[in-house]
Amino acid sequence: MVGLIQGPKGPCSLRQEQRQQQIPFGNDRKKGKYKSNGKNKGKHRFPSGMTNLKDFVRSQRRRADDTIESMIKGITTVASVASVDGFEKLGSLFRALGFEEGKGWDDAGGRGAAFLAPLGNLELVTGREPAVPSLLVEVTQLEAVYSVVRSWMLNPATGNFRTEEIVVKLTAVAATHWNSRLFTVDLAPGLKIGFWESENPQHGRPIAVEGDLSAAGKKFAIVVARWNAVITDRLLQGALDALHRSGCAKDDIEIVRVPGAWEIPSAARTLAESKRVAAVITLGVLLRGETAHYEAIYTEVARGIGQSQQETGVPHAFGVLTCETLEQALDRAGLKAGNKGFEAAVAAIEMASIQEKLADKTKGGR
């Protein structure tokens, strides 16, 4: 960014920065834009510790230099493919593997195709030639990728390789000396690709706090509506099933029945404020009728449960069904589309675990 410095509200020009800091520049002082009282008449106002414009500009340049790490967005390697056939085959294979396509180009001088991946790396080697192809693709299910590549090579419409060629051009999956497994495919002269998977399951994964699906030793509350009991009872059984399977004792589950979905937020808020439960599971069902009653109730129920969770700090699992018909509700209560009560309970267990870990992390940080 030529001619720009890092201002308090982002990159801006020198003139903009001085205006933000109320520093007269050029003819601005003559126009009367910067008025001063009697004590400061004729004096420029600089930040503390600075006496002139030069010091100020230098400090801003240092600030811009200090933030250069945040300017790196990604990395792209450009590989030249010698033949049109190799270019077409490589693009076809990457599409078969599910690469996201970027913006390509085509003009009188040649063609280009871009393929995007979640992560990119640039590895430099000196002292010896690399033992692997220059183009490496890291994957998570190497055998499945191998199967896709082999099928692509056998397909006359894509790879169009003969069976005897595949034996030579496609190597078997083999272990490497760098704690991984690898196979290579030779698509054209000078165009070899390697696909590899690390033996370390945590390799490349971002460090994150994740919840455990263990409910042992934790107390949970379930608020369930009696209205449409044929549905809500199924949701309740699903939630209890999830809790018991995850190790929650029967005495550690508190069930509160309310008349309908409208009353769920109030009971959930009372339970959350008591601080005696690790999470609250809310279960109910709303069926659309011929009036606006459905929308009004659903909006307030969702808002009330969300506010209770945010203001009390106790996780609330949302298991209130909103369906067009009774048949849809039955499907989501265990017939065809899984049991949403079970899913809500699983979410509550995981969130309770996350809350516990975050609290421990906060205490450790202090």
**Hey, which residues are catalytic here?**
293
Two tokens, residue 157: 């419409």
β-sheet bridge partners, residue 242 = none
Nearest to 67 by CA among 155, 136, 7, 146: 7
The CA R_g of the chain, rounded to the nearest whole Å, is: 32
Helix H, strand E, coil C: the string for 36-103 is: CCCCCCCCCCCCCCCCCHHHHHHHHHHHHHHCHHHHCCCCCCCCCCCCHHHHHHHHHHHHHCCCEECC
Cα–Cα dist 187/133, whole Å: 12
Q: Residue 193 phi/psi, 5° resolution? A: -120, 140
Give one DSSP letter per residue of 113-130, joined into a string: --EE-S--------SS--
- Tell me the one-letter amino acid at 41: K
